[in-house]
């Protein structure tokens, strides 16, 4: 059993789980049928990735836990996703903003993770990066449409970026497990992605006629399991069946 590897996998997988769950909430409520279908596709991609990661994590931990146990039977403090992905679907600008700010990071991460010495992680990364490349294209296009659309949409998009900005720095924080995995050639040194991330994001925001926020005060804690109040509600939906009907097969 490799506890650090297990933690490292969760650090990546939990982001996809929580973001996939957020997008799943929107299914049937999108601004147009086409957009609805597109957001659901992204959600499905993310859940597909989640299953691969958790199945691997279950193997690594090797104590009989299943992918579903890992996904649905942890306590709030045991989820290590970043705060960004748990933010609610306040409106479509927030949904797109959250997606965009995560996609740019996600792509850079997977791009490096493809070279992991861990062959399973490398294989998952190679498969996922194609999906994420599309997600980034989708969310980038929409940031531009909303940013450089009407006055109303510009304002809403700017508000969303401003509101979510405070959660971006955490993407580049390392946990102890991360550091060990990086030293073993398994993990990606996320601190090395930061500069490129902000350069890409600022460029796209500029193209979208939006301002890159200047705020230097950032929220953190997700990676240590200290979340915003939003996560508890998301988990009570996610875990409802497993909690209400424990030890059953579905």
According to CB under 8 A, which one of 65, 121, 126, 141 is a site residue for another protein?
141
Shortest distance, CB of residue 186 to another protein, whole angstroms? Answer: 24
Kindly identify the residues of this chain, within the stretch 52-81, that bind another protein according to CB under 8 A.
54, 67-68, 71-72
Stretch that binds another protein, among 18-26, 78-86, 109-117, 163-171 (CB under 8 A): 18-26
Measuring CA to CA, how many Å separate 89 from each of 24, 30, 99, 145? 11, 11, 11, 18
Judged by CB under 8 A, the number of residues near another protein is: 53
According to the binding rule CB under 8 A, does residue 149 interact with another protein? yes
Measured in whole angstroms, the distance separating CA 214 from the mean position of its chain's CA atoms is 23
> Among all chains, which residue has been given the structure tokens 């992605």?
193
* Residue pair 203/197 in contact by the 8 Å Cβ criterion: no
According to the binding rule CB under 8 A, does residue 225 interact with another protein? no
According to the binding rule CB under 8 A, does residue 250 interact with another protein? yes
Q: What is the DSSP string of 79-123?
A: ----HHHHS---SHHHHHHHHHHHHHHHHHHHHHHTT-SSHHHHH
User: Which of 50, 54, 129 lies closest to 85 in space, CA to CA?
Assistant: 50
Joined together, the tokens standing for residue 97 give 């903003």
Give the footprint of another protein on this chain (CB under 8 A): 21, 24-25, 27-38, 40-41, 43-44, 47-48, 50-51, 54, 67-68, 71-72, 91-92, 134, 137-138, 141, 144-146, 148-150, 152-153, 156, 234, 237-238, 240-242, 245, 248-250
């Amino acid at each position: 059993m490799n506890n650090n590897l297990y933690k490292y996998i969760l650090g990546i997988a939990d982001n996809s789980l929580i973001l996939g769950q957020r997008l799943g909430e929107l299914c049937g409520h999108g601004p147009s049928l086409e957009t609805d279908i597109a957001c659901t596709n992204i959600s499905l991609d993310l859940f597909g990735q989640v299953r691969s990661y958790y199945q691997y994590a279950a193997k690594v931990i090797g104590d009989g836990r299943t992918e579903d146990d890992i996904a649905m039977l942890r306590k709030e403090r045991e989820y290590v996703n970043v705060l960004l992905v748990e933010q609610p679907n306040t409106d479509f600008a927030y949904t797109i903003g959250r997606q965009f700010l995560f996609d740019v990071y996600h792509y850079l991460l997977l791009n490096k993770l493809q070279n992991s010495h861990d062959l399973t992680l490398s294989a998952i990364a190679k498969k996922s990066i194609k999906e994420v490349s599309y997600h980034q294209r989708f969310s980038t296009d929409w940031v531009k449409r909303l940013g450089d659309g009407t006055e109303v949409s510009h304002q809403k998009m700017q508000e969303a970026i401003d509101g979510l900005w405070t959660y971006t720095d955490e993407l580049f924080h390392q946990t102890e497990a991360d550091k060990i995995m990086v030293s073993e050639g398994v993990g990606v040194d996320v601190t090395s992605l930061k500069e490129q991330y902000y350069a890409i994001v600022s460029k796209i925001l500029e193209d979208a006629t939006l301002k890159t926020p200047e705020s230097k005060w950032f929220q953190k804690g997700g990676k240590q399991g200290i979340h915003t109040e939003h996560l508890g509600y998301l988990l009570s939906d996610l875990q409802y069946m497993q909690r209400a009907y424990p030890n059953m097969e579905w």
